[in-house]
Amino acid sequence: MPIGEKHLLRFGPFQLDTQCGQLRKNGFGVKLQGQPVQILEILLECPGELVSRDELRQRLWTTDTFVDFDHSLNTAIKRLRQALGDEVGTPKYIETIPKRGYRFIGEVSQNGAIPQHQGVPDETVVHKTTGIEPEVGTPISAITGLLSNRRIVLFSLLLIIALLALAHWLITPLPIPRIVRSHALTKSGLRKTPEFQSGVVTDGVAVYFQEAGPSAVVTMRAPAAGGEAEELASSPNGSLRDISPDGSQALFAVPTPTGLEAWAQSLPSGPPRLIIKDARFPTWTADGRSILFVRRGDQEIVGSERKWNRCSAIGGIS
């Protein structure tokens, strides 16, 4: 063989470089050296033919070497089989001929050539998904590992970007609301009455408020989109406090000689009715089933549950 030319013997996923005595599997080195590698090289010189134990002894041990030949040879063959993943009972590469020797039964090619009947091994297949063709001698497992590492890096970068975006969204304060447009709901020109501790309340469809009429304070209703306001007929002479969550009733605080009373009026029109005596600042709860109010005598906030036209106290907070 010319100097510098490699002598490669390939079988299955293995490749033996006889110049350096190195065995590779799928392109990665196998920890095997010494007599096991020498035995493999001898068997690969004449695949399919018997190599006797005596021939192995003559080539591996000189005549003046004192060694337990049988034990040493059996140990070397065992290590070689372990490296190849071979079994004595069902050999793929090394067959034992009892009391005679060994024979290599696998398909072998020289100088890295691939036997035609074996087809193209996985190591030389062009990667169909990415279109990347491995270099000569580059195992497909290495290419796959490289692509897998790139996917992991890409996924990690995307995850970091997503976490940074989430953190930015969490720590960034919400923008301060600003008025973009406005329109007038009423055009009467009469003064509205905050001094009566009444507010502007809405059920989402209409806006309810009180204003100082010519002779008395009146309760008004105007569409939320704007338009003509109309007076609520028969509304009690008190301060408008709230609208029930379902928009069916208005709640008033009506002054009396003995204190304030909570009155309710059905909407859009209906007779007012007394709900609670001695009740300041009445307001509906969110579910519309109870009314919260302040009782001045004991400075307690009391809740009452509405049952038709009756109310019963259900608790208080000092």
pLDDT at 131 over 60: no
The confidence score (pLDDT) of residue 311 equals 41
pLDDT at 19 over 60: yes
pLDDT at 125 over 90: no
Q: CA 164 to CA 167: how far, in whole Å?
A: 5
Q: Are the C-beta atoms of 22 and 9 separated by less than 8 Å? A: no
The confidence score (pLDDT) of residue 266 equals 85
pLDDT confidence bin for 199, thresholds 50/70/90: low
Q: Are the C-beta atoms of 82 and 30 separated by less than 8 Å? A: no
pLDDT at 112 over 60: no
pTM: 0.38
pLDDT at 79 over 80: yes
The confidence score (pLDDT) of residue 94 equals 92
Q: State the amino acid at position 143 in one-letter form.
A: I
Assign domain 194-317 to a CATH class: mainly beta
Q: CA 219 to CA 240: how far, in whole Å?
A: 7
In the chain, list all ranges with CATH 2.120.10.30. 194-317
Q: How crowded is the C-beta side of 201, counted as CA atoms within 13 Å?
A: 21
Q: Which two tokens stand for residue 43?
A: 């068997």
Give the residue, 133 or 141, on which the prediction is more confident.
141
Note the pLDDT tens digit of each residue in 165-196. Answer: 999 989 988 888 888 877 777 777 777 765 44
pLDDT confidence bin for 227, thresholds 50/70/90: confident
The confidence score (pLDDT) of residue 157 equals 93
pLDDT at 115 over 80: no
Q: Which two tokens stand for residue 34?
A: 């010494």
Note the pLDDT tens digit of each residue in 150-169. Answer: 889 899 999 999 999 999 98
pLDDT confidence bin for 198, thresholds 50/70/90: low
In the chain, list all ranges with CATH 1.10.10.10. 8-117
Q: For residues 114-139, b (16+ Cβ closer than 10 Å) or e, as one string? A: eeeeeeeeebeeeeeeeeeebeeeeb
Find the range with the poorest average confidence among 2-11, 117-126, 200-209, 302-311. 117-126
Closest CA to 18 of 44, 42, 41: 41
Closest CA to 35 of 85, 83, 91: 83
Q: CA 157 to CA 151: how far, in whole Å?
A: 10
pLDDT confidence bin for 228, thresholds 50/70/90: confident
DSSP string, the chain: --TT---EEEETTEEEETTTTEEEETTEE----SHHHHHHHHHHHSTTSEEEHHHHHHHHS-TT----HHHHHHHHHHHHHHHHT--SSS-SSEEEETTTEEEE-S--EETT---GGG---GGGS--TTT-PPPPTT--HHHHHHHHHHHHHHHHHHHHHHHHHHHHHHHHSPPPPP-------S--S-PPB-GGGT---EE-SSEEEEEEE-SSSEEEEEEETT----EE-TT--SSEEEEE-TTSSEEEEEEEETTEEEEEEEESSS--EEEEESS-EEEEE-TTSSEEEEEETTTTEEEEEEEETTEEEEEEEE-
Give the residue, 116 or 275, on which the prediction is more confident.
275
The confidence score (pLDDT) of residue 165 equals 93
Give the residue, 162 or 207, on which the prediction is more confident.
162
Q: What is the mean pLDDT of residues 108-127?
A: 50
Which of 81-90, 281-290, 298-307 has maximum average pLDDT?
81-90
Find the range with the poorest average confidence among 218-232, 243-257, 304-318. 304-318
Q: What is the mean pLDDT of residues 265-271?
A: 82
CATH number of 8-117, picked from 1.10.10.10, 1.50.10.10, 1.10.287.110, 3.40.50.1000: 1.10.10.10
